[in-house]
Chain A
Amino acid sequence: MSAIALPGIEVDPVADQESAASATWYAFRRNPLGLIALGMLVLLTLIAVAAPLISPYPRGFSTDVLQAPSSAHFFGTDSLGRDVFAEVVWGTRISMTVGVSASALAIGIGVLVGMLGAYFRRVDAVLRLVVDLSLSLPVLPLMILVAAVAGPSLGTIIVVISFFSWPEVARVVRSQALSVVNLPYMDAARLVGGGHAWILRRHLLPAVAPVVTVSVVLTASRAVIAEAGLSFLGLGDPNSWSWGRVLYESQQAGSMTSAWWTTLFPSIAILLLVVAATLVALAYNDARNPRGRES
């Protein structure tokens, strides 16, 4: 910490920040599990971006229905003769888009509410009550209700998931911000005459940033699971392939149990993404914690 400025010794806060970041990265690199997980996330992102190069869009029907995996169809075909490999590759794109967008929206709301709650103690009681109440309700049935009324589309899914995911983010950010708002440097910021918005942005936000980083990854992976759940129940966008929709189509066609390849591969894709995201978050948490670095 460079909180104490001694005469004659110049402390450059930016350089210090950089060294903290590089120390974290250095510790992260020594965690093999974290690196593999990070590589997995990068690979999935590449597949999502390069989907058109990897496989044609799973559009037309063919007579090759429910074919087992072969060299022509790596993951076999579904009940309408569409290539499951193509569905999973294009599903990566949609599932990750939903995960990232829903998480971005939820993080935005959650960080704002969490910081406001910790900073302005008067609104805290109300915000905390809302967060506590929404956390104790069964979220999936509520998402189903809203998605069903609003009609299935990618936009609906993203808004619905983020609308019910921000309370968790707000809770985490608030508890981190609470431990910071009473520190002397916040008083100092006020003493220099900083406005509320400036203090929140320049002093509180950097303090909660590490928690937010972890939250981004975890919220995104939960959003992917939530999207899969909604799509599996038939509430997904009928015009775009997500992993949940592949499972839904398989269930609707009754091939869920007869053609294992129609469910196994999208399931593995979901598991890989969520496990990789969780491991990256855990590894980042460990790497950031100086106490864990020595061992």
Chain B
Amino acid sequence: MPPIVWFAARRVAHGLVTLWFALTITFLLLRLLPGDPATAIASTNMDAAARQELLTKYGLTEALPVQYVKYLSQVLQGDLGTSFSQSEPVTQVLMARLPWTLLLTGTALVVTVAIGIPLGVLAATHARGALDRAIQVGGVMGQSLFVPSIGIFFLFVLGLKLQWFPIGGASAEDTYGLAWYLGVLHHLVLPCASLVLVSLGSYVLTLRSTLIDALGEDFCTLARAKGTRERTVVWKHGLRNALLPATTLLGLQLGFLVGGAVLTETIFAYPGVGRAIYEAVIRLDFPVLQGAFVLLSATVVIANMLTDLVYGLLDPRVRNA
């Protein structure tokens, strides 16, 4: 088997194991926690007969291992239970919301990289200078921000006082075609900026330190000795090698970014999965909460898998590791 196929197979297997782990941990936590495990599926406020029917349907009257197998097979078929508050399948409720969360976190990720790379390069090439210090302090501050705080600040200053941006929702009403798309972008700016601010710090700091290391390596010294311009040394020789750890970190940060999206969407009334989680918390709609975690985990796992696969194609060191 060629190494690239072997690498892809290993990566996909790892993704599947992660998903299985997410499902199992949800299953175990909900059943081992104090309280009625059935509340995760059927509300105690329900009509007794309807509740019994649901409990039987989800096999909550059976032994744990049997329940586990049933649960896994139902999730695999895309069945995440029924929402209490909307009496609709959870999958349907959340799938309608998912595109907005993907748009929000995806854009935040792209913007983080687009701003993070120049900032990291700037800090690394001016290492120990005033500019580097400023970027480092900014990075630490950014990492310490509480997402809702920065969201509320943007909402108050840029949304309410200056009225540059809409204060909630994801799209303008009664607009079609190009105007609708522009409206979507306009609504995206503030929630996206809040997320970028909190994720940028650690990305820049990691990139900075790996790039400083890379620029001190022999291959960079050789490139300089050949008379290559410093700009080419930094961008072509150094950065290419420093991007790997930064990209790995970005993968780890995805989970964190999704958590940030829950808070951001809550503040900006953005109609994504995160806002659905907030609404489900208020209504104690456990199936939606469980489904949202499973769905977001799957998103993170798939995104991580794709990033790694692309990276494996680009960088032989990754696929042969």
Binding site for B on A (CB under 8 A): 129-130, 133-142, 144-146, 148-151, 221, 225, 228-229, 232-235, 247, 251, 256-257, 260, 263, 267, 270-271, 274-275, 278-279, 282
Contacts and interface: CB of A to CB of B under 8 A. Distances in A.
Contacts of B289: 141, 144-145, 148-149
B226 to A, nearest CB: 31
Interface in B258-299: 258-260, 262-263, 266-267, 277-278, 280-282, 284, 286, 289-290, 292-293, 296-297
Residue picked from A129, A141, A235, A251, most chain B C-beta under 10 Å: A141
18 contacts: A133-B21, A136-B251, A136-B300, A141-B259, A141-B297, A144-B262, A145-B293, A148-B280, A149-B29, A229-B148, A229-B262, A256-B267, A257-B156, A257-B159, A270-B146, A278-B140, A278-B143, A278-B144
Given A139-B256, A257-B160, 6 more contacts: A140-B263, A149-B35, A233-B278, A271-B144, A278-B140, A278-B143
B39 interface: yes
Contacts of B155: 256-257
Given A137-B22, A260-B156, A271-B149, A145 B255 contact: no
Interface string B1-44: 00000000000000001100110011001100111000110000
Contacts, number: 148
Given A136-B304, A225-B146, A141 B152 contact: no
Contacts of B267: 251, 256
Nearest to B278: A233
Contact of B301 (A136, A229, A251): A136
B252 interface: yes
A138 B300 contact: yes
Interface residues of B, number: 57
Interface of B: 17-18, 21-22, 25-26, 29-30, 33-35, 39-40, 140-141, 143-149, 152-153, 155-156, 159-160, 167, 251-252, 254-256, 258-260, 262-263, 266-267, 277-278, 280-282, 284, 286, 289-290, 292-293, 296-297, 300-301, 304
B144 A257 contact: no
Nearest to A295: B128
Nearest to A147: B281
A135 B254 CA distance: 10
B153 A136 contact: no
Given A136-B252, A139-B256, A282-B140, A148 B148 contact: no
A293 B302 CA distance: 44
A251 B167 CA distance: 14
B308 to A, nearest CB: 11
Contact of B149 (A134, A135, A270): A270
Contacts of A129: 17
Contact of B18 (A137, A140, A234): A137
A229 B259 contact: yes
Contacts of B143: 278
A222 to B, nearest CB: 10
A257 B152 contact: yes
Contacts of A130: 21
**5 smallest beta-carbon distances between A and B, as pairs:** A140-B259, A267-B149, A274-B144, A138-B258, A138-B255
A140 B146 contact: no
Contacts of A263: 149, 152, 156
Given A146-B29, A271-B149, A138 B281 contact: no
A129 to B, nearest CB: 8
Given A149-B286, A233-B278, A260-B156, A137 B300 contact: yes
Given A263-B149, A271-B146, A142 B40 contact: no
A260 to B, nearest CB: 6
Contacts of A229: 146-148, 259, 262-263
A235 B278 CA distance: 10
Contacts of B156: 257, 260, 263
A144 B160 contact: no
Nearest to B128: A295
Given A137-B18, A144-B277, A149 B33 contact: yes
Contacts of A149: 29-30, 33, 35, 39-40, 286, 289
Given A138-B293, A138-B297, A257-B160, A267 B259 contact: no
B23 to A, nearest CB: 11
B259 A235 contact: no
Nearest to B273: A141
Contacts of A279: 140
A81 B234 CA distance: 58
B255 A137 contact: yes
Given A229-B147, A232-B263, A144 B256 contact: no
Contact of B258 (A141, A234, A270, A275): A141
Nearest to A268: B149
A241 to B, nearest CB: 16
B274 to A, nearest CB: 8
B293 A141 contact: yes
B259 A145 contact: no
A278 B138 CA distance: 12
